[in-house]
Amino acid sequence: MPIDTCQNISCQNGGTCQTGVDNQLFKCQCPPGYNGSLCEIDNGTTVTKTVKINYSPTPLGVGVGTWQTERLCPTAYYLIGLKLNSEAIVSYTDLSGINQITFTCKRPYDGDEKVFNTYSGGSCEAQGTTYSSSLCSSGKYLANFKVAVNTKSYSDETGLESIAFKCKTPIENGASGNWIIASGSWNVAQSLEPWHYSDGQCSTNEVGCGFRVKAEMCQSSDDAGILDIELKCCAI
C-alpha cells in the first residue's frame, strides 16, 4: 500500500499538503503571502491594485490634507467590513464628518478576524459617535466602494460624509449585490451630497486588503477629518 506522506506533514499558515507534485514526496500549496517547504515564510501583504474614487465634480477639500500611510490587513487576511466614527447631523457648526474608519479583516481558512483603525489623527478621532460594523455576507470580501464628500461652499467643510461598499467571492470578477452603506454615514439619514464612484474594483482572485486615507489634522477651527480614501486589493 502506498504511504501517504502528507499524514506526517503539517503545512503552516493555511497551506495544503499534496503528494505526487513535481516529482516530490510532498508539496505544501501555500496561500498568497507565504512560501517555504511548509509555508512557514511570511512574505507580507502585497498590494496588487489600488482603487481610487473618480470625482466629478471635484469636491472641496480634495486638494488639501495629507495622505496617510496605508493600513493593510496581516498576511492572508482580507477586508470583510467597516465601522465608522462620525459626527451626527446636528445644528451646531464645525462638524468634521467621518473621523475614523475601523476595518475588519478575516482569514479565510480558519475564520479568524482582526480589527484595525485608519484615523484622521489628533483629537478629531475622539469626536462623534462610533457606530456598529457593517459587514459582507459570509464567504465574501470587500471589493468596491463609493463615497459622498462635501462638494459645496458651506461655511463648515466636513470632508468625507458617507461610505458604501460592495462585496465579492474570491473567484468573482467584480463585486455584486446591493450597496452596503456603512453605519454612521450621513446619506443613511438624508441625501446631502451625490455619490462618487471608484475608478475600478478588485478582480478575479483578488479582494480588498486595506485602505489609505487623506486627512486633515485637527486644527483650531473648521476640522474636516477624513477627506479621501483609497482601497487596496490583494491576491487571495
Do 67 and 32 sit in the same domain of this protein?
A: no
Q: What is the pLDDT of residues 169-184, one digit of tens each?
A: 999 998 989 999 888 7
pLDDT score recorded for residue 51: 94
pLDDT score recorded for residue 91: 47
Do 89 and 29 sit in the same domain of this protein?
A: no
Q: How far apart are CA 234 and CA 162, in angstroms?
A: 24
Average pLDDT, the chain: 81
The CATH number for 14's domain is 2.10.25.10
Average pLDDT over residues 134-148: 94
Q: Provide the percentage of residues in the chain whose pLDDT is more than 90.
A: 37
pLDDT score recorded for residue 99: 80
Domain extent, residue 21, equals 5-42
Do 54 and 166 sit in the same domain of this protein?
A: yes
Do 131 and 97 sit in the same domain of this protein?
A: yes
Do 115 and 146 sit in the same domain of this protein?
A: yes
For residue 24, what is the DSSP state? B
Four-point Cα dihedral 73, 217, 87, 56, nearest 10: -80
Q: How far apart are CA 154 and CA 13, in angstroms?
A: 51
Average pLDDT over residues 18-40: 85
**Residue 192 burial class via C-beta count within 10 angstroms: exposed 0-12, middle 13-18, buried 19 and up:** middle
Single out the residue of 57, 22, 50, 80 nearest to residue 193, CA to CA: 57
Q: Cell match 490583494: residue?
A: 234
- In this predicted structure, the answer to whether residue 116 has a pLDDT above a threshold of 60 is yes
The CATH number for 216's domain is 2.100.10.20
pLDDT score recorded for residue 133: 87
Q: What is the pLDDT of residues 181-194, one digit of tens each?
A: 888 777 654 556 77
Band (8; pLDDT cuts 50, 70, 90): confident
pLDDT score recorded for residue 113: 95
Q: Cell match 485637527: residue?
A: 218
Do 12 and 89 sit in the same domain of this protein?
A: no
Q: Domain count of the chain?
A: 2
- In this predicted structure, the answer to whether residue 55 has a pLDDT above a threshold of 90 is no
- In this predicted structure, the answer to whether residue 87 has a pLDDT above a threshold of 60 is yes
